[in-house]
Amino acid sequence: MTRTRAVRLLPVLLAAVTAGACGSADPPPVPPARTAVASSPPPSCPLPAREPVTGSGGQLRTAILGFQGPYGSGNYALPEQLLAAVPDAFDRRRPNDELFALGMFTRGGGLLSFTVTNAGAQAATVYDVRPVNIVRECTPLGMAVELGSEGGEGPSFRFDLDAAAPRAFEVDPQGRHTWFFEKRTITLEPGRKESVSVQFDTLFGAYSFDLAIAFEAGGAKYTQLLRNDAGPFRVASSLCPTPADRQQLTADQVAQLKKLRYRQVRVRRADKGVFSIVAITPEQYAARCQTL
């Protein structure tokens, strides 16, 4: 896996998506099942992955274009052990790659943009993509970083990390949810490259995971793992849910969120067109939340 820098996210190119056979009428939308939302952070964390998955094929070549907060935002959360190792993590701006390697999380969800290229001599058909090796992590409370968003393309599909077994789904303009790979595949002819962006959502948790790409080539099935360089992807929820997300939380979850506070907070501030990263108090940051 290689990593390339990108100033902005590339548009999603899914021209190779092939719809499967279906009847004359579309089936009713299937909402992603939220079957395993924890009511509180785990009593002892991290909780190891239940079913470890390893890769079994090398025909596909992947390159990460960007891994950011939800919808391309610069929102991150740093655990206390990271700040102990790098106290000036955002006072002296360091590359995200360095901080991800030390354990930084995207905060409020995460948006991953990557390319996948068929480097083999046979066509490859991607029939599933999903998070694997999911570890329930402790909520990172060392520092919240809020750098805002420059916008960008919407995701190709998304995952609910709070679900018992997260599956790729998409949302249509009417807000209906359907499983992305239920009736389609992505076919890559030899040498073909596609760009994909994936949104990871969580209302309450903190997770680390790999992304498994399952494909078929030459009559055999393979799985390749996409990782954030040498480590996993890490995504944490925001301690301030949106009004829509607030409606999905239980009373116990809301009570738990009210108890949690970041130890430090850094936000982006503009002064006469000049942007800087400044510190505000955890109390000031908590007071901004209108839903708790």
The ranges assigned to domains in the chain are: 36-287
195: Cβ–Cβ under 8 A, 6 or more apart, which residues?
A: 10, 11, 12, 13, 65, 113, 114, 115
On the 0-12 / 13-18 / 19+ scale of CB atoms within 10 A, 135 is middle
Whole-model pTM?
0.84
Residue 9 has pLDDT above 90, yes or no: no
Mean pLDDT in residue range 173-188 = 91
Mean pLDDT in residue range 169-176 = 88
Mean pLDDT in residue range 153-172 = 91
Both tokens of residue 172?
């249509």
Q: Alpha-carbon distance 158 to 180, whole Å?
A: 9
Q: Looking at residue 43, what is its pLDDT? A: 60
Q: Looking at residue 152, what is its pLDDT? A: 64
Q: Which of 107-111, 158-162, 271-275 has the lowest mean pLDDT?
A: 271-275
Q: Alpha-carbon distance 19 to 123, whole Å?
A: 17
The H or E element that residue 101 is part of is helix 96-101
Q: Looking at residue 269, what is its pLDDT? A: 87
Tell me the pLDDT tens digit for each residue of 227-259: 998 799 999 999 898 898 899 898 998 898 888
Provide the 3-class DSSP secondary structure of residue 194: strand
Tell me the pLDDT tens digit for each residue of 88-134: 888 777 788 899 999 999 999 999 999 999 999 999 999 999 999 99
Short-list 266, 9, 5, CA closest to 150:
9
Tell me the pLDDT tens digit for each residue of 30-78: 444 443 344 445 567 888 888 899 988 789 999 999 999 988 889 999 9
Both tokens of residue 284?
């000031």
Q: Looking at residue 23, what is its pLDDT? A: 35
Mean pLDDT in residue range 216-222 = 94
107: Cβ–Cβ under 8 A, 6 or more apart, which residues?
A: 69, 75, 76, 77, 140, 144, 145, 146, 236, 237, 238
Strand segments (E) across the chain: 2-3, 17-19, 60-68, 73-78, 105-107, 110-118, 124-136, 143-149, 157-160, 169-171, 177-179, 184-188, 193-201, 206-217, 220-226, 233-236, 264-271, 274-280
Residue 149 has pLDDT above 80, yes or no: no
Both tokens of residue 29?
């939308």
Q: Looking at residue 220, what is its pLDDT? A: 94
Name the pLDDT band for 18 (thresholds 50, 70, 90). very low
CA-based radius of gyration for the chain: 20
Average pLDDT, the chain: 84
**Amino acid at position 236, single letter:** A
